[in-house]
Amino acid sequence: MSDSLIAGLDQTQLLGLYHSLVLTRAAEERLEMLQKQGHVTGEIYRSIGQEAGAAGAAFALNRQTDGTGDFLAPTVRAAGALFLFGGELVDFFRQYMGRATGPTEGKEANIHWVDFQKGIIGPVSPLGTMLEVMAGITLSFKVRGESRVGMVFCGDDASSTGAWHEGLNFSAVQRCPLILMVEANQWAFSTATRKNTRVRSFTEKAAGYGIGSESVDGTDVMAVYEAVSRAAKRARAGKGTQMVELRYYRRLGYAQHDPQDYVDPDELAMWVDRDPIDLFERRILEEGWAAESVLHKIRIRAEEECKLVAEQATGEPVPDGREAVKGVYTDTITQHPWTRTDGPYRRDGSELNT
Ligand X SMILES: Cc1ncc(C[n+]2csc(CCOP(=O)(O)OP(=O)(O)O)c2C)c(N)n1
Determine which residue in the list 185, 203, 213, 215 makes contact with Mg ion, applying CB under 5 A.
Answer: 185
* Peptide bond connecting 259 to the previous residue in cis, omega within 30 degrees of 0: no
Task: Mark 229-268 with x for binding to ligand X (rule: CB under 6 A) and - for no binding.
Answer: ---------------------x---x--------------
Is 152 within 8 Å of 57 (Cβ atoms)? no
> Considering CB distances under 5 to 8 angstroms, the limit depending on partner class, which of Mg ion, ligand X, none binds residue 158?
ligand X
Candidates 8-16, 126-134, 141-149, 177-185: pick the segment binding Mg ion (CB under 5 A).
177-185
Please state the closest distance from residue 187 (CB atom) to Mg ion, in A: 5
Q: Which residues contact 15 (CB under 8 A, 6 or more apart)?
A: 289, 290, 294, 298
Range 180-219, binding ligand X (CB under 6 A): 183, 185, 187-189
Surface-to-core class of residue 341, CB atoms within 10 Å of its CB (0-12 exposed, 13-18 middle, 19+ buried): exposed
Q: Could you tell me whether strands 71-73 and 150-155 are parallel, antiparallel, or unpaired per DSSP bridges?
A: parallel
How many residues touch ligand X (CB under 6 A)?
16
161 interacts with ligand X by CB under 6 A: yes
Question: In DSSP terms, which residues pair with 187 in a beta bridge?
Answer: 192
Task: Mark 62-101 with x for binding to ligand X (rule: CB under 6 A) and - for no binding.
Answer: ---------------x------------------------
Please state the closest distance from residue 39 (CB atom) to ligand X, in A: 23
User: How far is it, in rounded angstroms, from Cα 202 to Cα 213?
Assistant: 9
Note the maximum CA span of the chain: 74
User: How far is it, in rounded angstroms, from Cα 82 to Cα 189?
Assistant: 23
Please state the closest distance from residue 169 (CB atom) to Mg ion, in A: 22
Choice between 41 and 161, CB closer to Mg ion: 161
Surface-to-core class of residue 39, CB atoms within 10 Å of its CB (0-12 exposed, 13-18 middle, 19+ buried): middle
Is 70 within 8 Å of 148 (Cβ atoms)? yes
How many residues touch Mg ion (CB under 5 A)?
5
Q: Could you tell me whether strands 114-115 and 120-121 are parallel, antiparallel, or unpaired per DSSP bridges?
A: antiparallel
Note the Cα 134 to chain centre separation in Å: 15
> Considering CB distances under 5 to 8 angstroms, the limit depending on partner class, which of ligand X, Mg ion, none binds residue 77?
ligand X
Determine which residue in the list 65, 67, 117, 126 makes contact with ligand X, applying CB under 6 A.
Answer: 126
Would you tell me how many other CB atoms lie within 10 Å of the CB of residue 57? Answer: 31
24 interacts with ligand X by CB under 6 A: no
125 interacts with ligand X by CB under 6 A: yes
Task: Mark 146-175 with x for binding to Mg ion (rule: CB under 5 A) and - for no binding.
Answer: ---------xx-------------------
Candidates 25-33, 153-161, 199-207, 261-269: pick the segment binding ligand X (CB under 6 A).
153-161
User: How far is it, in rounded angstroms, from Cα 154 to Cα 160?
Assistant: 11
Main-chain dihedrals φ then ψ at residue 138, nearest 5 degrees: -75, -25
Residues in touch with ligand X (CB under 6 A):
77, 125-127, 155-158, 161, 183, 185, 187-189, 250, 254
Residues in touch with Mg ion (CB under 5 A):
155-156, 185, 187-188
